[in-house]
Amino acid sequence: MIATIAEATPDSTSTAGTRLQLLSCNILAGTSVSGYRDYVTKSWTQVLPARSKRNNLDELALRVTEFDLVGLQEADAGSLRSGFLNQIQYLAETAHFPFWSHQPNRKVGQFAHSSNGLLSRREPIEVIDYPLPGRIPGRGVLWARYGPEWHGLVILVAHLSLGPKARRRQLDFVAELIGSHTHAVLMGDLNCTADSAELQGLYARTSLTPPPDPPPTFPSWRPLRAIDHILVSQHIHVEHLRTLPHAVSDHLPLAASIRLD
Model confidence pLDDT, tens digit, residues 83-141:
889 999 999 999 999 999 999 987 777 777 889 999 999 999 999 999 999 888 889 99
pLDDT of residue 7: 67
Model confidence pLDDT, tens digit, residues 166-218:
999 999 999 999 999 999 999 999 999 999 999 999 999 999 999 989 999 99
pLDDT of residue 39: 77
What mean pLDDT is reported for the chain? 90
Task: Quickly state the pLDDT bin for 16 (edges 50, 70, 90).
Answer: very low
pLDDT at 14 over 90: no
pLDDT at 57 over 60: yes
Task: Quickly state the pLDDT bin for 38 (edges 50, 70, 90).
Answer: confident
Question: Who has greater pLDDT, 1 or 201?
Answer: 201
- The secondary structure of the chain as a DSSP string is -BPP-EE-S------BTTEEEEEEEE-GGG-B--STTHHHHTGGGGTS--HHHHHHHHHHHHHHTT-SEEEEEEEESS-GGGTS--HHHHHHHHTT-SEEEEEEEEEETTTEEEEEEEEESS--SEEEEEEPP-SS---EEEEEE--GGGTT-EEEEEE--SSHHHHHHHHHHHHHHHTT-SSEEEEEE-SS-TTSHHHHHHHHHSSEE--SSPPP-BSTTS--B--EEEEEETTEEEEEEEEPPP-SBSS--EEEEEEE-
Which CATH architecture fits 6-260? 4-Layer Sandwich (3.60)
pLDDT at 1 over 60: no
The ranges assigned to domains in the chain are 6-260
pLDDT of residue 41: 81
* pLDDT, average across residues 5-24: 66
pLDDT of residue 220: 94
First to last CA, the chain: 31
The letter for the amino acid at 186 is L
Task: Find, among 31, 103, 38, the residue nearest to 72 by Cα.
Answer: 103
pLDDT of residue 17: 45
pLDDT at 244 over 80: yes
* pLDDT, average across residues 28-55: 82
- Order the strands of the 19-26 sheet from edge to edge: 6-7, 99-108, 112-120, 69-76, 19-26, 254-260, 236-243
